Structure 1
Amino acid sequence: MSEPPRNPLGPAGRNAQRNIRRLREERRFSYAELAERLAGAGHRMDVLDLSALERGERRVDVDDLVALAAVFGRSLDQMLAPPAECENCHGAPPAGFICIRCETTGLPARAGV
Structure 2
Amino acid sequence: MSEPMGPLGPAGRNLRRNIRRLREHRQWSYREAEARLSKAGRAISTLGLSAIESGERHVDVDDLVALAAVFDLGIEELLRPPAGCDTCHGAPPAGFMCLECETSALPTA
CA RMSD of aligned residues (A): 1.2
What residue number does 1:95 align with? 94
Name the aligned partner's letter for residue 44 of structure 1.
A
Name the aligned partner's letter for residue 24 of structure 1.
R
Name the aligned partner's letter for residue 84 of structure 1.
A
The list of structure 1 runs, each at least 4 consecutive aligned residues, that deviate by more than 2 angstroms after superposition, is none
What residue number does 1:61 align with? 60
Q: CA deviation at 1:65?
A: 0.9
Q: Name the SS for the 1:86 alignment partner.
A: coil
User: Normalising by the residue count of structure 2, what TM-score does the alignment of the two structures yield?
Assistant: 0.93
Q: Percent identity?
A: 63
What residue number does 2:50 align with? 51
Q: CA deviation at 1:107?
A: 2.2
Q: Distance in 2 between matches of 1:73 and 1:107?
A: 28
Aligned length: 106
User: Normalising by the residue count of structure 1, what TM-score does the alignment of the two structures yield?
Assistant: 0.90
Q: CA deviation at 1:61?
A: 1.0
Q: Distance in 2 between matches of 1:108 and 1:78?
A: 22
Name the aligned partner's letter for residue 29 of structure 1.
W
